[in-house]
Amino acid sequence: MNPLLTAAQNAAEPLGTKSDSIVITGGKPLKGTIAVRGAKNLATKAMVAALLGDTPSTLKDVPDISDVQVVRGLLSVYGVKVTDGARGELHFDTSKVESAHFADIDAHAGASRIPILFCGPLLHRLGEARIPDLGGCRIGDRPIDFHLDALRQFGATVDKSYEGIHLTAPDGLHGAEIALPYPSVGATEQVLLTAVLAKGTTELKNAAIEPEIMDLIAILQKMGAIISVEPNRVILIEGVDRLDGYTHRALFDRNEVASWASAALVTHGDIFVEGAKQAEMMTFLNVFRKVGGAFDIQENGIRFWHPGGNLKPVTIETDVHPGFMTDWQQPLIVALTQAHGVSIVHETVYENRLGFTEALNEMGAQIVVHPSGLPDHPRRVARRDFEQAAVITGPTKLHGANIRVPDLRGGFSHLIAALSAEGQSVISNMGIIDRGYEHIIDKLDALGADFVYEG
Ligand code: EPU
């Protein structure tokens, strides 16, 4: 137990406290083919959606990552029978959904933020829901006020106690007019998962419209929901009396694709990412090309490589979809340490997502983080109060270092920095990377990385 961390952060620790270090000898280009499967940020939500169905559901292409295991554990606590099918298929039998105690929920929920999304489905099925302290990556405060405000608007009563949050809706939930203060991915999912079975119509304004949300809407439509996506971030949901299960193949993991693309650039490599698709990657591909990366879109995936020549600096802002995703900036920043000139990355989604650059500086990078952004810098759109900016001056030679993985995306960046660096690095706490990158060790092996894994 680390007294400097919150309960949720401590709960997240065990994943990364096994003896899970990797010793990397850098300097070898990553070359070969790897496959991506369903998106962490869709599959976990689709698993929760299964709770809404009166009949069984099947999700295909579920990635073998620890965040999926967490949600699987939680579903079993609520009486959902989850069974494995062939190659990444999960079946959900929801015929015996039952209430659970805080202690059991807590035991399974530790490292994830997904439990908050169980609220609507559990309120519909059981009239109550219990939510423990939430985990997830340490990238800011990550409050849940939008979620709780929306649930109150649907008619839920929210009681907070030392154990967590207890929600009740003895008279059922009704449709609502909800305007989110910010197009939050999680809060939009919360509204969707609650509104589909609420009595009446829900109008959601300022909704997130990420491809993972569109895929969740597709799943809910398969189940019998009536949802229309209107212009200007408005989503209308007409509540229905019941929903069936679904059969669905999860959308591919865009964040993993962007990560491997950056890995190819950083290591002067050549990686074919099977399962990657162009439409959902367009914003990333534009930036990748401007930096000097090459890609080739094929039927069954996208090939990314370093075509030689100098990488070029860029200025980017992370944003909600269709902007440049916050989860893409960390691996790209490693590539920008090799660009000739000064790059600027504004992080506008989370208030604390540039801390991972400290380790890159220890490896030889020249990155200055401005914790309150760069006020005088011309901005495309005025943002919320908090933003950070990283100013990256390149190119700088990277050398090996000992690094403890701080969070999922930051950890991947450290990994690829080590793979490109001169000399040896020891990266510990690799378990955090298992939260979102499937079979990372096998993939590094397939790409010819030079490492010894002490897992
Ligand atoms: N926010 C609030 N109040 C709320 C909810 C969000 O202030 O009630 C703020 C957050 O603190 C943050 C911003 O709104 O500053 C955006 O948060 P959002 O709700 O959109 O994020 P999320 O749903 O918690 C998901 C992904 C993240 C991804 C973001 C943005 C999952 C499980 N997580 O988080 O993925 O970065 O959307 O696209 O879907 C990752 O995969 O590594 C990851 C962190």
- Joined together, the tokens standing for residue 164 give 């967590």
Residue with tokens 């499937």: 438
Domain C-terminal end among 221, 249, 277:
249
Q: Which atom of ligand 1 is nearest to the CA of 147?
A: 8
Say whether both 74 and 184 belong to one domain: yes
Pocket-testing residue among 42, 182, 214, ligand 1, by greatest number of atoms within 8 A of Cβ: 182
Say how far apart CA 354 and CA 289 lie, in whole Å.
Answer: 23
DSSP secondary structure letters along 42-58: HHHHHHHHGGG-SS-EE
Find the range with the poorest average confidence among 1-10, 317-326, 367-376, 394-403: 1-10
Mean pLDDT of 194-219: 98
Identify the residue whose C-alpha is closest to ligand 1 atom 39: 41
Q: Which of 215, 249, 283 is the last residue of a domain?
A: 249
On whether both 215 and 317 belong to a single domain, the answer is no
Which range is least confidently modeled, 104-118, 159-173, 187-201? 104-118
For residues 11 and 141, membership in a common domain is answered with no
Residue 264 Cα to chain centre, angstroms: 21
Mention every residue, 6+ apart, whose C-beta is less than 8 A from residue 172: 124, 155, 198, 199
Q: Rounded to whole angstroms, how far apart are CA atoms 260 and 306?
A: 12
Q: Is 257 found in the same domain as 241?
A: no
Instruction: Extract the tokens encoding 80.
Output: 């959902």
> Whose CA is closest to atom 12 on ligand 1?
350
Of 294 and 11, the structure prediction assigns the larger pLDDT to 294
Instruction: Tell me which DSSP letter residue 114 carries.
Output: G
State whether the beta carbon of 140 lies less than 6 angstroms from ligand 1: yes
Hey, which of 184, 216, 257, 350 would you mutate to test ligand 1's pocket, going by the most ligand atoms within 8 Å of its Cβ?
184
Q: Give the span between the Cα atoms of 162 and 446, in whole angstroms.
A: 47
Provide the mean pLDDT of the chain.
Answer: 91
Q: Is 215 in the pocket of ligand 1 (CB under 6 A)?
A: no
* pTM score of the predicted model: 0.93
Task: Find out whether the beta carbon of 329 lies less than 6 Å from any atom of ligand 1.
Answer: no
The neighbouring-strand residues paired with 25 are: 424
Do residues 152 and 283 share a domain? no
Query: How many A from CA of 183 to the centre of ligand 1?
Result: 10
pLDDT score of 10:
36
Q: Is residue 377 pLDDT above 90, yes or no?
A: no
Which of 66, 346, 349 is the best mutation target for the ligand 1 pocket, counting ligand atoms within 8 Å of the beta carbon and taking the most?
Answer: 349
* Mean pLDDT, residues 132-142: 60
Residue 17 confidence (pLDDT) above 70: no
Residue 422 predicted with pLDDT over 70:
yes
**3-state SS track over 218-262:** HHHHHHCCEEEEECCCEEEEECCCCCCCCEEECCECHHHHHHHHH
Query: Looking at residue 133, what is its pLDDT?
Result: 65
Phi and psi for 359 in degrees, rounded to 5?
-65, -35
User: How far is ligand 1, taken at its centre, from the CA of residue 187, in Å?
Assistant: 9
Q: How far is the CA of 400 from the centre of ligand 1 (A)?
A: 32
Q: Whose Cα sits closest to atom 19 in ligand 1?
A: 184
**In a shared domain, residues 345 and 418:** yes
Helix (H), strand (E) at residue 392: strand 388-394
The confidence score (pLDDT) of residue 141 equals 57
- Per-residue pLDDT reduced to its tens digit, 66-100: 999 999 999 999 999 999 998 899 999 999 999 88
Quote the ligand 1 centre to 296 CA distance (angstroms).
Answer: 31
Residue 114 CA: which ligand 1 atom is closest? 32
Say whether both 215 and 263 belong to one domain: no
How many percent of the chain have pLDDT more than 70? Answer: 91
Residues 6+ apart with CB under 8 A from 141: 351
What pLDDT score was predicted for residue 15? 39
Using 50, 70 and 90 to split pLDDT, how confident is the model at 387? confident
Dihedral sign computed on CA atoms, order 103, 105, 111, 112: negative
Which numbered atom of ligand 1 lies nearest the CA of 149?
A: 8
Residue with the smallest CA separation from ligand 1 atom 2 is 143
Is the model's pLDDT at 110 over the cut of 80? no
In a shared domain, residues 31 and 69: no
DSSP helix/strand/coil, 423: coil
Half-sphere exposure of 376 (CA within 13 A, CB side): 0
Work out the pLDDT band at 2, boundaries 50, 70, 90.
Answer: very low
Nearby residues of 439 by Cβ (< 8 Å), 6 or more positions away: 64
Q: Which of 73, 54, 15, 103 is nearest to 437 (CA)?
A: 15
Rounded distance, CA 313 to CA 209, Å?
29
Q: What is the DSSP pairing of strand 451-454 with strand 424-428?
A: unpaired
Catalytic annotation present for 137: yes
Mean per-residue pLDDT for 317-345? 97
Q: Tokens for 339, please give them.
A: 């660009």
- Residue given tokens 């269709």 in the structure block: 322
Task: Decide which of 202, 229, 249 is a domain's last residue.
Answer: 249
Ligand 1 centroid distance, CA of 375 (Å):
24
Residue 7 has pLDDT above 70, yes or no: no
101 with 160, same domain?
Answer: yes
Q: What is the pLDDT of residue 8?
A: 37
- pLDDT score of 14 more than 70: no
- Segment among 10-24, 26-40, 421-435 with least mean pLDDT: 10-24
Nearest CA to ligand 1 atom 23: 186
Q: How many domains does the chain contain in total?
A: 2
Ligand 1: which atom is nearest the Cα of residue 320? Answer: 38
| Apex 120 CA angle, 115 and 123, nearest 5 | 105
| pLDDT score of 227 more than 80 | yes
| Cβ contact 254:280 at 8 Å | yes
| Distance (Å) from CA 138 to ligand 1 centroid | 11
In tens, the pLDDT along 143-162 reads 899 999 999 999 999 998 87
The mean per-residue pLDDT over the stretch 284-310 comes to 98
Residue 187 pLDDT > 90, yes or no? yes
**What b/e readout covers 431-454, taking b as 16+ CB neighbours within 10 angstroms?**
bbbbbbbbbbbebbebbebebeee
Lowest mean pLDDT among 81-95, 106-120, 194-208, 335-349: 106-120
* H or E segment and range at residue 286: helix 282-291
Q: Please indicate whether residue 113, judged by its CB atom, sits closer than 6 Å to ligand 1.
A: yes
Mean pLDDT over residues 290-302, rounded? 98
Cα–Cα distance between 81 and 96 in angstroms, integer? 8
Q: What's the chain's Rg over C-alpha atoms?
A: 22
Band of the pLDDT at 1, cuts 50, 70, 90?
A: very low
Residue of minimum CA distance from atom 14 in ligand 1: 184
- Of 188, 204, 21, 19, give the one whose Cα is nearest residue 117: 188
pLDDT for 158: 93
52 shares a domain with 27: no
> Residue 45: CB within 6 Å of ligand 1?
no
State the DSSP H helix or E strand holding residue 188, giving kind and residue range, or none if neither. Answer: helix 185-195
Instruction: Label residues 77-97 b or e (16+ Cβ within 10 Å = b).
Output: bbbbebeeeeebebbbbbeeb
pLDDT attached to residue 379: 57
211: preceding bond cis by omega (within 30 degrees): no
Nearest-CA residue for atom 33 of ligand 1: 41
What does the pLDDT read at residue 406? 92
Does one domain contain both 74 and 12? no
Range of the domain at 125: 40-249
Closest by CA position to 63, among listed 433, 410, 445, 435: 435
Mutational test site, ligand 1, from 67, 113, 131, 185, max ligand atoms within 8 Å of CB: 185
Q: What is the CATH number of the domain that holds 391?
A: 3.65.10.10
CA of 185 to the centre of ligand 1 (A): 6
The per-residue pLDDT for range 28-38, each reduced to its tens digit, is 999 999 999 99
Higher pLDDT, 395 or 381: 395
Q: Residues 258, 327: contact at Cβ < 8 Å?
A: yes
Residue 4 has pLDDT above 60, yes or no: no
Give 22's strand partners: 427, 453
Together in a domain, 226 and 330? no
pLDDT > 80? residue 226: yes
The answer to whether the beta carbons of residues 253 and 40 sit under 8 Å apart is: yes
Q: What is the dihedral of CA 83, 84, 88, 92, to 10 degrees?
A: -20
